[in-house]
Structure 1
């Protein structure tokens, strides 16, 4: 068997190293298409196998197979939390904000606490904290600062001539 092309890739993600090997062999007898063998192996940081498999396909179909695999793996990863990071659910997520919680949020932000720290203390998500900060008058882009008054409020508060 003559190998006309071989490609190897090694990728490390987290504590797992994946190796992917593609080997393309020429067509055999007339009417027999060229074939591509695809092998995937993943090992953990101690060398323990976490993924192992492979298959062979008609070389002309590699692009189609790659698109199908990509689409399927991304869809499955989204369902299983693979592509998106699984986030722990905050205990107070979705519960209404009270005046007391708003005051606590404002006090903590102005004291210089970070979003992650405030979220953990209040049982909220970091996104929930970022979204609530402007509602209590705080600038979510600048820790420890209030938002400037909008121009519409400045005109209302201006003294009459």
Structure 2
């Protein structure tokens, strides 16, 4: 039975197209192409499979792509990820947080502080209560009430 399937996807600045075609004999052709926003081809590939070869090939491709994805994920870690915080880093984080007005977006400030400290925004947000700062309102210290909401590692500002 002959068939033709086409899938497209866009990720970041690339458009991907996957075409799978089978002929009456069951032979499969798989074509992949990636183009940038200007239509220039930046990646392409083709696989031809004999009848009955799709299942095993799909399994192998999946395993390879999962492994590659895991490697790419490890390369994207931030410079100080998983490094312990020093007392000085805690102190400067607190001072920096308190220097911003409460009218400024907490998310924006957290991203800025993360970039400056080579930490993830999640790491900054998690660390703020530990130095007595309210992670939901820039420039604000934790109160007893907000410390109870934020969690067990929160330090009540004195």
For normalisation by structure 2, the TM-score amounts to 0.69
Superposition pairs of residues 21-60 of structure 1, within 5 angstroms: 21-27=19-25, 34-60=26-52
* 1:97 maps onto 2:87 in alignment: yes
Runs (5+) with no aligned partner, structure 1: 28-33, 151-161
Paired residue for 1:156?
none
Q: Is the 8 A contact 2:9 2:16 kept in 1?
A: yes
Q: Is the 8 A contact 1:109 1:143 kept in 2?
A: no
In structure 2, the CA distance between the partners of 1:39 and 1:70, relative to structure 1 (3 Å rule), is same
Q: CA deviation at 1:102?
A: 4.8
Q: Is the 8 A contact 2:91 2:131 kept in 1?
A: no
In structure 2, the CA distance between the partners of 1:123 and 1:26, relative to structure 1 (3 Å rule), is closer
In structure 2, the CA distance between the partners of 1:6 and 1:97, relative to structure 1 (3 Å rule), is same
Deviation string, structure 1 residues 92-126 (Cα, Å, up to 9, x no partner): x6451326325314514674452112223445432
CA RMSD of aligned residues (A): 3.1
Runs (5+) with no aligned partner, structure 2: 149-158
For normalisation by structure 1, the TM-score amounts to 0.68
In structure 2, the CA distance between the partners of 1:21 and 1:89, relative to structure 1 (3 Å rule), is same
In structure 2, the CA distance between the partners of 1:11 and 1:102, relative to structure 1 (3 Å rule), is closer
Structure possessing the higher radius of gyration over alpha carbons: 1
In structure 2, the CA distance between the partners of 1:40 and 1:120, relative to structure 1 (3 Å rule), is closer
Q: Is the 8 A contact 1:109 1:138 kept in 2?
A: no
Superposition pairs of residues 9-158 of structure 1, within 5 angstroms: 9-27=7-25, 34-79=26-71, 81=72, 86=76, 88-89=78-79, 94-98=84-88, 100-108=91-99, 111=102, 112=104, 113=106, 114-140=109-135, 142-144=136-138, 145=140, 146=142, 148=145, 149-150=147-148
